[in-house]
Amino acid sequence: MARTIGSHGPTTMEAIRKAGLRLIFQHGYEAMSLRQLAAEVGIQPGSLYNHISTKQELLADLIQDHINDLLRELETALRDKEGAVERLRAFVAFHVSYHMTRKREVFIANSELRSLDPRNYEAVVALRGAYEQRLAEILTDGVAEGVFDVDDVQVATFAIIALLTGLCSWYRPGGRLTKDAIIAAHEKLVLSGVMPRSAKPSPSGRDGIKTE
């Protein structure tokens, strides 16, 4: 039985968000009802409206908060990194690490984009565009520095993000590869794809792929 935690305050709102994230991940946005959400949190259905106005509002907030966290933490990861190669390494390491630990948020942000109403959809797409633009800027700078050979920066941006995000479909904690090994493998794939053929990615300071 769900624990009753009361119907007011930030503690309840945080419980609603965590329960909503879990239920949407498990059952999908359309299948989750507010009555089910209230039961999961341990409050009366009517008490939900002290915290959220609609199920749509909850979904939009979860997705937008996820992408805002992504943007904010990316800026920290890129801080003090010099040169396009070093910044691309940092982007790859950050993106892979984040997606290893925030699987539910990533899944919902990608799979439930279609469930957003037009206003919320536009807001989320704008945030996603800001994240993609940071990678595009790194690639553009690399071309200008002569260290990257990229014919179409936009295509390369979409391809790299799709490659890095793809690990959400197969990564499981405690698997055969260490976290550092997985990051190193993705770095090698990305850098090999954007560097001129005559250049080879230099070691990033990590060991090669190792088994646990």
- Whole-angstrom distance, CA of residue 27 vs CA of residue 61: 18
Residue 85 lies in a domain: yes
- Evaluate if residue 56 carries a pLDDT over 80: yes
- pLDDT digits 0-9 by tens, 14-32: 999 999 999 999 999 999 9
- Is 77 among the domain residues? yes
Shared-domain flag, residues 45 and 118: no
Range of the domain at 98: 56-194
Residues 45, 60 share a domain: no
101-126 confidence digits (pLDDT tens): 888 899 899 899 999 999 999 999 99
Q: Which stretch of 48-62, 141-155, 189-203 has the lowest confidence by average pLDDT?
A: 189-203
- Within-domain flag for 3: no
Per-residue buried b or exposed e for 2-40, using 16+ beta carbons within 10 Å of the residue's own CB? eeeeebeeeebeebbbebbbebbbeeebeebebeebbeb
| Statement to judge: residues 28 and 89 lie in one domain | no
Q: Please tell me whether residue 36 adopts helix, strand or coil conformation.
A: helix
Looking at the structure of the chain, the number of domains it has is 2
* Average pLDDT score over the chain: 87
Cβ neighbours for 91, distance < 8 A, ≥ 6 positions apart: 74, 77, 78, 134, 135, 138
